[in-house]
Each structure stands twice: as C-alpha cells, then as structure tokens.
Chain A
C-alpha cells in the first residue's frame, strides 16, 4: 500500500511496424476511411500472423518509421505561427480535441429527459475530482437555473426560532470546504441481474466527486435552537418542481452534512443545484437535495416518495428494506474498462476509483486473472473520508486473455463483495446498492468487455 511508484516490470517492446509511411501520414492527416480500415485489417492479420498475435495500432506504431517521424523532422502549424491572446475564452473551455468525454444518457433507460440520468465519463477522467461540467446528472422534474437573489432557505419544525436565510446570510457564515463523492443509490443498478451495458460510464457513471464549500448544517440548526432531545430527523426539501424531499439522520446532520453553494472553487452548476444544495456525505445521492429551500426538524422519519416507493430494496421473500441510506465500499477499474481496446502489448497502468460511505478506503486489491490471485494497488493521496480514492497498479500485458477486477476495503473492515455474495444476501430483485466487484474481460485481441463471474 505504498504510495511510491515502483519500478515497472520489464517493458515488452512494441512489435514490428506494419504500416507504410504514406498510409501513416494519410491517417494522421485525414483519419481512417473505410478503405484504410479494410487495408489495415488485412495488414494487421498478416502482421499479427508474423508476430504471433499481438501487434496493435498505436500512435507509436504509426509514427516509428525508418525515415524518421515527420512530426519531429518538420515544423508544425503551431511552432511557426502566433497563438491566441489572453482571455480569448474569458471562461475557459476544454480543448477542441476533448469532445468525446461528455455526460451521456443510457438509451432506453428512461423515456423523458426531465426524469432521467446523464452518466459521468469515468473511462477518461483522472484523479478524484470530477470536473463540474461532467458531474453526473439526475433530475426528477428537470433542472432550473435559479436566480440566487430570489432564493430563500427556511429552517423550521422542532426549533425554538424558525428562520429564513438569504444567500447573503448563508455566505456570511463560517464555511467549510470538503471533498465528497455523491453516488446515486441506483448506480450499477442495471447489472443486478446480468450484464446489461457496455462501458464504465453506464455501469458506474452515477458517481462524481467534488470539493464542496458551504455551511455545516449544524450551524443553522444551532442558530434556530433545534430540539436536541426530541429532534431525531431532518427533512430536506428542494425548490424545483419535484420538491424533492428526503429524511436525513440527525447524527449525519450534526456530523458532516453541508449546506453547500461552492463546487470545485466556483458556484454550484445549475444542474447540480445552483445556488444551494445539501451534501450528505456517504449517503445515497438523492439525499443531497438540490435547490435546497427548506429544512424541517422532526421526531419521526417523513416517509417521502423517494424513501417509500424508490431507493428501497426488495429482499427475497417480498419484504422491502427501507431507509437503506449508506453507500457501502465499492470500486471499479476505469482504465482499461469495458468498450476500450488496448493499443498494444506491454506496460499499462491499471487505474480506478474506490469509495465508501462509511469512512475511508484502506486498501484496494487487483486481480488480472479473474480472481485466482490478487495484488494490492497503490492508493494515491489524498485518501479522504467519504471521497473518491484513486488507485493505480502496474501491469504488463503479454497478449493473453485476462479478467481485471478491483476489490475495495474500508476502515470498518468491510470488504467489497462479489456479485454472487451480494445476491446471496439481497437476492436479484433489488435495484439499489449494487456495490459488487466489477469484472472486465480482456480478449487476446485487446478488446475489453463487461462480464460477470461467479
């Protein structure tokens, strides 16, 4: 579990290049058309026969020619011209080459975009912070871009002095900034029964992690003089059409719940609840009510729609577990992952994310042989409570079939289960809380696909 980068193992050199220089240049310039694709397929079969089934296409292979790389030998369009001035993009935007990694809906999952989900592109993200524009979206009745000057927060119920706060009030209060994940309770729901979707974006993309800034909810509860004896629960309610409501435990409310306005150094994005949302660390995302407008202190749970009809767990025998809030330890390898293709044999950095709603991740183990043997991965700092933790481990792919898995452990001693261990207790009718170990099959031709193993 050392954080030091170990020396990688023996790096196998890329196989002989099999593409001629003019084709290489044409592909670099204009991309691949159907003719070139077919030509490359044929070349590849021939080349791979010669090198016994391993050569893959990468830019390295394309560029390494006996005459030298023209991208090195010649001047480029960038090094002999003048670049753009400062503030050409007053609010910076990603490179024009970064259009592929965006939030996406899973086709057929929902019928209307206002009551749907857009998944985060985990397959290409780095570190533990999700760019605000790529934070997953889940709305029940569409999103609104609310005028912050018209926003009010009311704290009432079992309090001595019910109060109304404006954004001016809230932003004057002592603030905290903490990194936490928000995971939808239904993340990985499609995989309860069998494999259903191809990539990590759709299997696990309902999780994101941000640095949230705001006021501890306990400050507001204290300010209103909440009933410390009988106030056992808090209701949070949104200002949007759905008026989202959820019951939150007083234990969480007084511990680490944040009434947040900041996200990754800027204000919340409208899709994430601008100008004010609740962040309930470690708990199903639906509790982190967006567009927060009301907090009510009560002595009993509130039996809201999303804790009675949804976000509950149907168990074998027909009883339904209710108020199952915690998101237990879970992890997934994001690269290489489903739908991706390895660009050649040799060295890879297997990388992924681990998290637990109960505290900190203490260890992540990786298997590349379908669970026969496991090695412990490096956890990259920071390792924070109820936040995403990035793990990495070295891997030299020799071109043989492999099955990649990750298994997280947290500081309560809990170990992320296999899908069958999970089904053994919870059955297969549940929708929520699928935190099973994910398996990615690597074929000998480099393609990675989603599988489940016993």
Chain B
C-alpha cells in the first residue's frame, strides 16, 4: 500500500512538473519559411550584414529626391520645416578625421543627419524601411542606393558622377564624417563608460543627498521665458475645476516677469506679508470653471480630416507636404466647380496644382470625401 501511494505520488508529481516547466510548446507556432524570413529580414547592420545587392547613381537619386523627398526635406536636404536637416555642418576635414568638428564647438546649432550618423548602413536601412514618410517601403532596392548616394552628394561626400553599390559602400563608409564620433556603451574597450546600458550599473552623476543646511542661498537660474508664457493655451482648462488646486488661466508670474535677481532677493529675504519684500500686489487670477458638458456633436469635417490622416500632409493654414486647408479655401473661393474637382482629386489623385502629388484616396467613403471637401471649401473649422 505504501509503495503504491508513493508510486502514484511520484507519477502525479512528475506530470505536474512537466506541465509547469514544459520546454516544448506543442501546437504553438510553426517554422518560418525561407521566403517569409527573406520578406521581413530587412535590417542592415553597421558591418553591412543584411545589405541586398544593387546600385544607384547620384543622378538617379536627384530625380527621385525632387519627386518624393524634397517636399519635406527641401531641395538640398537642408530644410527644417517638417523634420530635422539631413545635410549640413560637415567639412572635408571631418571626412579625414571621422570627427565632426561642429559637434565639438557647437558652431552648428541644428545637428544634421550627416553630422550625427557614424554608420552609413543606418541611412540605407532607414530610407529602405521608412521612406518616403507618407509611403514607406515603396522604393526599390536600387532607388534606395540612388537616394543614399544623392544625400552623400549633397553633403559633399560623393562626387556627382558616383554610382553607389553593395560593392563599394564599405569604402564610402570610411569617409563618413562622424564615423569615429561614437562613445558606445557596448564597446568592451570602453570600461570607464559602462553606466547606461547595464541595468544595475552605477550612474555617472553623483548627488550626496544632503538633508539640512544644504545651501546658504537659493539661486534661481532660469524662469519661464516670456515667449512660453501663453504658448500652451489656457492652463485652467488643463486642470480640474475642483480639488486642491486650479490651473491658472493666465500666469501672473509672467505679467510682467520679475527678474531673476528680484526673485533671488525675495527667496533669500525673510518674508513679511504685504511688506516691500512681497512679490507683487495681489491680483489673484480666478480660474474659469469649465463644467460645461462636452458636446456629442456629429463628426465635423475637421475631425474627419484628422481621422483620415489628411492632416499628416496638410496643415490647417500652412503647407506641410501638400497645401494648407486655408490656402485651398482661398484658391477656390467663388469657384462653383471646385467641389466636384476637389472630390475627384482626393478620390483619384492629382498633381501639378501645388507643385506636388496628391495620392488617390478611393478607399475612403465618397460621402466622407464630400463632407471633407465641403468643410475645406467653407473654411475648415
């Protein structure tokens, strides 16, 4: 009897342990096929592992650039209107040293892609996976080589007759301006600087955690700049209208701003209410209770323009990739055929009017397109 119990116990325990620590997961997942792996394994590493064969010239790149890239990045890759600049701030001396001097002396406040990127593979990989911004993964392999070559040409790294390919890209890497500019936390030789990759590393900045008599005087060094005082809208409407605090509907501290010197005098002088040491005559701003229920209105044209991602390329007033809505409103003012024309352009695509290409949007319901066009023509609100 004892033996039997023990045997049963043994069997059931082993069954339990198999269930709890199963290394095999029968019925879960399946082996990936070679062509599936090839379709998704698109990353290209710093040593160019993963780079597909192909080539593209600077001249081909220039043509693609004008058509698909310049509207965001500018004709010379220098634009900061939509994204950061791609080109600028590097010199032929940097190409020799592999250190971008303007990063050291701060002479170029806006850091361009070519100033920062050490590995050419990264530029190739990113164009291939994510560009053009509104139609990613639509360039062919050769087109990616061509656009990469043209960027390097704009940065005076490659001559205008160059053809970039998988054969010569490693040579071009040796001229990248910031190729020696990285202090990798993963470099085993970099033993002093191992703080920010390892989870339990010691930080590089120390604070002794003093508890009393820590400082003799309070020194305020920076306050909200005047231009930022109203930039974030009415803060009263960004806080509850009840509770421990309210949001300020206008920052009194900004109006006018006390000087940093004046603030430091106040914060280092014993306080007497109402005395000269006080900060300011009291003009307390009472916040606006915003207890009005939200309107559950029908979806507006503007909301539909956002939901259908139109605002990714069109600003409310200004051009982003395509024209701003108010620019369209102005252009077609009084034009009775405008509605039908714009419905056609949105549905089927168009080009030429604003110096770019409007892709077709036939997948959006016709009635939605009509509402959105009407909303734009009447001044989208």
Contact = CB atoms under 8 A, between A and B. Distances in A.
A and B associate: yes
A415 B287 CA distance: 37
Interface in B269-298: 271, 273-274, 278-294
A65 B99 CA distance: 72
Interface in A411-454: 412-418, 420-422, 424-426, 429, 433, 441, 443-454
B83, B211, B253: residue with the most chain A Cβ atoms closer than 10 Å: B253
Contacts of A343: 244-246
Contacts of B287: 341
Interface stretch (B60-68, B139-147, B228-236, B372-380): B228-236
A33 to B, nearest CB: 9
Q: Which interface class (under 10, 10 to 19, 20 to 34, 35 or more) fits B? A: 35 or more
A98 B290 CA distance: 9
A190 to B, nearest CB: 9
A112 B320 CA distance: 8
Interface string B204-239: 111111111111001111111100110111010111
A324 B311 CA distance: 34
B158 interface: no
A300 B312 CA distance: 36
A2 to B, nearest CB: 17
A307 to B, nearest CB: 9
A450 B266 contact: no
B199 A252 contact: yes
B352 interface: no
B253 A173 contact: no
A365 B238 contact: no
Interface in A295-329: 296, 298, 300-305, 308-309, 312, 314-315, 317-326, 328
A303 B83 CA distance: 21
Contacts of A157: 41
B196 interface: yes
Contact of A320 (B45, B121, B183, B208): B183
Contacts of A37: 286
B318 to A, nearest CB: 9
A339 B239 contact: yes
B69 interface: no
A197 B225 CA distance: 9
Given A197-B232, A399-B273, A444-B278, A415 B208 contact: yes
Max chain A C-beta neighbours (<10 A), residue from B28, B205, B209, B239 = B205
A230 to B, nearest CB: 14
Contact of A446 (B42, B126, B178, B284): B284
A54 B273 contact: yes
Interface stretch (B31-39, B161-169, B356-364): B31-39
A341 B231 CA distance: 18
A198 B204 CA distance: 29
Nearest to B119: A303
Given A324-B185, A403-B267, A342 B207 contact: no
B245 A342 contact: yes
B263 A96 contact: no
A390 interface: no
Interface in B104-140: 104-106, 111, 113, 116-119, 121-122, 125-126, 129-130, 133, 136-137
A45 interface: yes
A92 B42 CA distance: 42
Interface in B157-212: 178, 181-186, 193, 195-212
Contacts of B37: 154, 156, 162
B43 interface: yes
A414 to B, nearest CB: 5
A235 interface: yes
A309 B207 contact: no
A22 interface: no
B56 interface: no
A9 to B, nearest CB: 16
B40 A294 contact: yes
B245 A341 contact: yes
A294 B121 CA distance: 20
Contacts of A401: 266-267, 271, 279
A201 interface: yes
B351 to A, nearest CB: 21
Question: Which DSSP category, helix, strand, loop or mixed, fits chain B's interface?
Answer: loop
B66 to A, nearest CB: 21
B181 A318 contact: yes
A341 B309 contact: no
B312 A339 contact: no
Nearest to B130: A242
B253 A447 contact: yes
B288 A32 contact: yes
B291 A97 contact: yes
A198 B251 contact: yes
Interface in A330-361: 335-336, 339-343, 348-349, 357-359
Nearest to A348: B244
A213 interface: no
A53 B32 contact: no
User: Which of A123, A141, A309, A441 lies at the interface centre, i.e. has the most chain B CB atoms within 10 A of its CB?
Assistant: A309
B245 A198 contact: no
A99 interface: yes
B284 to A, nearest CB: 5
A108 interface: yes
A84 interface: no
Contacts of B284: 41, 44, 48, 56-57, 341, 445-446
B241 interface: yes
A100 B288 contact: no
Contacts of B365: none
A163 B31 contact: yes
A237 B125 CA distance: 13
B100 interface: yes
B258 to A, nearest CB: 9
B129 A302 contact: no
Contact of B221 (A40, A309, A426, A453): A453
A163 B29 contact: yes
Contact of A303 (B25, B45, B105): B45
A154 B32 contact: yes
B252 interface: yes
Nearest to A52: B273
B355 interface: no
Given A199-B235, A403-B218, A111 B83 contact: yes
Given A41-B284, A96-B293, A401-B267, A107 B247 contact: no
Given A32-B286, A165-B28, A374-B210, A449 B122 contact: no
Contacts of A420: 221
Given A321-B182, A447-B248, 5 more contacts: A56-B284, A107-B232, A309-B116, A417-B206, A443-B280
5 contacts: A57-B286, A98-B240, A155-B32, A196-B225, A373-B212
4 tightest A-B CB contacts, nearest first:
A318-B104, A324-B196, A370-B218, A339-B235
